[in-house]
Chains A and B, each alone.
Chain A
Amino acid sequence: MEKARIFLTGVGGQGTLTATNLLAQTALEQGIPVTSGEIHGMAQRGGVVVSTVLLGGLLSPKIGLGEADILIGFEPLETYRALEFLAPGGIVVSSTEAVPPVSVSLGKAEYPDITTIEHAIRNAASRAIMLPARTLGKKAGAVQSGNIALLAAMLAADVLPFGVDALKATIERNLNPKIAGVNLEAADLGAEAALASNA
């Protein structure tokens, strides 16, 4: 994929912006022209956070309906909500672990059935990689590093001009050594999970 529009979505407080930044940084270090953008509405926890990474010389930081080549969802309901941004033939990488909105906890709204979500994603995407990101993060040593597992899973799909090793190199170069180890481990777990999900 020479040019790629990557749409990332998650819940505030999950660290989606950190992941977005790392992905953009990896592209930059690989010498690929990159533009990235973020919208976090009111800077509060618990709302939807949407960000973008555009590779290959695209200048617009915004991705319109049906324009995303890759959709990375850090939470399944948000992946589902953002599905209309996915281009025909696009790829989805999503966590399968729900973070219910307050309206659901209050019993005022219903969280869609997770198998319905999975089915819709698999129907829409040319390739869908679903993994329990938070659990993988926890296994690596920190719940927050689940985001890196998702990024690595996407890179393991071999659709971008760089792969998991490039991400790991960026992590080693840019993250505080105290947390780099956990994130490197999360990257490995994500890449493994992607291969297993492809099998």
Chain B
Amino acid sequence: MPHPIMDTKPGETRLLLGNEAIVRGALEAGIDCVTCYPGTPSSEAPDTFYRIKHAAPESAAYHFEYSPNEKVALEVGGGASLAGALTLVTMKHVGVNVAADPLCTIAYVGSPGGLVLLSADDPGCHSSQNEQDNRYYGRLAGLPVFEPATAQECKDMTKEALLFSRRTGRPVLLRTTTRVNHIRGPVTFGERLEPASSADAKPFVKNPSKYVPIPAFARRMRLELLDHLAAVAGESEQSPWIAEHGEGDVAVIATGISRAYLNDALETTGLAGRVRVLELGLTYPLPEKRIAALMGEVKRLLVLEEGEPVLERELRELSRRAGLGTEVVGKMNGVGDDFTHVGGIGLPRFGEYETSIAANALQKLVDPSFEPSEPVSAGKAEGELPMRPPNLCAGCSHRSLYYAVRQQFGDNAIYSSDIGCYTLGILPPLSAADFLFCMGSSIPGGCGMARFDKRPVLAFIGDSTFFHSGITGLINAVFNKHEVLVVVLDNRTTAMTGHQPHPGVDATLGGPNESMVDIEAVCRAIGVQNVRKVNPNKLNSSMAALEELSALPGVKVLIAEEPCVLYARRAMKKKTAMAAEVSEQGPAVEYCLETLACPAFFREDGAVDVDPVQCSGCMVCAQITKEREDTGAIKARKKG
């Protein structure tokens, strides 16, 4: 059955997620190649390409791959583009750090087939370890930056950015933020162009002076890149991605999702039409002439941009350079969102904007004596409410392994964690994450810790993360003779971002993974002498393996392998015949609830019970109560 994104006819309108609209835009542009590493908020973009490809391969003529990490994704994309393929590479903001090395040089070498890098930023850290503003990467590497704000623009701008890149032969940054990736709105479909590589072949013609950045060539490439940026700046003066409206002696310049907040704020404040507005879609390099002309006609200019004052700095500088007296106001006027600070206009440098933030700043712009009032809510909850943090699922094998680790080491070891579901082991009572830097950091971070702390150090890493950048850290650990117990929490999929495949999985949508890379074999090949593999749901065997490995010197690896319960249920169609049942209340059951903290457990009228709907039948709780001598038992019972 064809995918709705392929099935809908040009001219028809469909409700699409921002990420899905990006996919449609790429298809309309005639995309040839898509590479990625999944990461919220970008994940649905590659996932949609993946599903379309496998739903109707005959109409999806593009190459798609999940790469082990973002650097690899961009490097494959760079090569494809040199061969003439129209290419999209997708990742979340922090992934661009991983890909930064090739990025800054692909900008020199160029991308004749066209190359767009989607960077999905996450202001507010909804699902990320930081909220870095990747518009800086556009400036750092020298990439024109497109920033959509609606679902329709996600589609149109992706198409435009790809065609723009193919026309100029250089990479482009498509920068979104969480709210844009996860916006859902009507999108009117356009015609699909033929795959670019067949409609207009651009075969690779050897020319080392053009494509090999040895220093002598790189210096020239640098100048050509600067020329390119100057040409784009000239072009951007007439860009269709600039919208101007309104009148008055004050103006607002807005980019990205701030444009949506501005739109609604103009309405709620009644200022629509009474303020001059310039909305930027192509946000780097800037159309300086057009902006300077606008600045010359107003007294004050407000800059609306989430995150860092990237645009604001440039506009302040432009105002000075153009000899204009225009006062530029933005988040550099005050400290954080502090309205009471001298000159503060209420624009935070952290987190997300929203309509009220834009509305307050607008009103302050128009009337400097304006003081914002607190938002009025109809009601508010009394007192502290119990929190509901995301949790390891009922039956998650990470929980079983963490339980075994805590039995063995308790608080007497240091737990180096990594990026994935298993980071959620941070919550008590498991408390299995003491520090974390970034994806792939647990092994090297743990090694550094172990050099200077006498306690045992355990490094937890998932299977997808192992392939992402765990391997290099492990190689370093072996080579530099570190002391670390590495636990690979192998749940056979990239679980956190939605069950995407990685090089080690058994199967993909395309069928069995015939070239599966075996983690155990990799560890041994690297030179790890002591590698054990256990089923984490068998507590005794994981405890025995942990005990044995912890007594050994050097680098040790324990592979805890058991498929993610959700993946097993949804993709592998595994049915669980059994569910746990409290057969006898007592201290052992209480102990199990308190130390395992499985979300299938609940307490009703003082008694502990297990929700059979949530229970996945892992029976770890039964093993725990069986081991305890105090009374109380949990037993398996047939489901149904």
B378 in contact with A88 (CB, 8 Å): yes
Q: Looking at the assembled complex, report how far the CB atom of B152 sits from the nearest CB atom of chain A, in whole angstroms.
A: 10
| In the bound complex, CA of A112 to CA of B382 (Å) | 9
| In the bound complex, CA of A58 to CA of B359 (Å) | 14
B184 in contact with A38 (CB, 8 Å): yes
Q: Is A36 an interface residue (CB 8 A)?
A: yes
> Closest chain A residue to B261 by CB distance?
A60
Q: Looking at the assembled complex, report how far the CB atom of A115 sits from the nearest CB atom of chain B, in whole angstroms.
A: 13
A24 in contact with B15 (CB, 8 Å): yes
A34 in contact with B186 (CB, 8 Å): yes
| In the bound complex, CA of A25 to CA of B602 (Å) | 36
Residues of A within 8 Å of B391, CB to CB, are: 44-47, 102
B375 in contact with A65 (CB, 8 Å): yes
> Closest chain A residue to B180 by CB distance?
A61
A102 in contact with B599 (CB, 8 Å): yes
User: Which residue, B261, B383, B385, B602, has most C-beta atoms of chain A within 10 A?
Assistant: B385
Q: Count A-B pairs with CB separation below 8 Å.
A: 182
Q: Is A139 an interface residue (CB 8 A)?
A: no
**Contact among A12, A21, A62, A120 for B352, CB-based, below 8 A:** A62
**Contact among A35, A39, A123 for B185, CB-based, below 8 A:** A35
Q: Is the interface of A mostly helix, strand, loop or mixed?
A: mixed
Q: Is B497 an interface residue (CB 8 A)?
A: yes
B381 in contact with A83 (CB, 8 Å): yes
Name the interface residues of B347-366: CB closer than 8 Å to any CB of A.
Answer: 352, 354-356
Name the interface residues of B369-399: CB closer than 8 Å to any CB of A.
Answer: 375-383, 385-393
| In the bound complex, CA of A83 to CA of B380 (Å) | 5
| In the bound complex, CA of A113 to CA of B356 (Å) | 33
Q: A28-B13, A42-B424, A59-B149 are in contact. Are A89 and B390 (CB under 8 A)?
A: no
**Contact among B127, B149, B429 for A41, CB-based, below 8 A:** B127
> Closest chain A residue to B258 by CB distance?
A60
| In the bound complex, CA of A37 to CA of B257 (Å) | 12
A64 in contact with B355 (CB, 8 Å): yes
B15 in contact with A43 (CB, 8 Å): no
**Contact among A43, A67, A106 for B375, CB-based, below 8 A:** A67
Q: Is A162 an interface residue (CB 8 A)?
A: no
B496 in contact with A44 (CB, 8 Å): yes
B381 in contact with A45 (CB, 8 Å): no
Residues of B within 8 Å of A44, CB to CB, are: 390-393, 421, 424, 496
Q: Is A158 an interface residue (CB 8 A)?
A: no
| In the bound complex, CA of A35 to CA of B187 (Å) | 11
Q: Is B40 an interface residue (CB 8 A)?
A: yes
| In the bound complex, CA of A103 to CA of B428 (Å) | 10
Residues of B within 8 Å of A59, CB to CB, are: 149-150, 259-260, 263-264
A21 in contact with B496 (CB, 8 Å): no
| In the bound complex, CA of A104 to CA of B496 (Å) | 25
User: Which residue, B126, B184, B391, has most C-beta atoms of chain A within 10 A?
Assistant: B184
| In the bound complex, CA of A110 to CA of B382 (Å) | 13
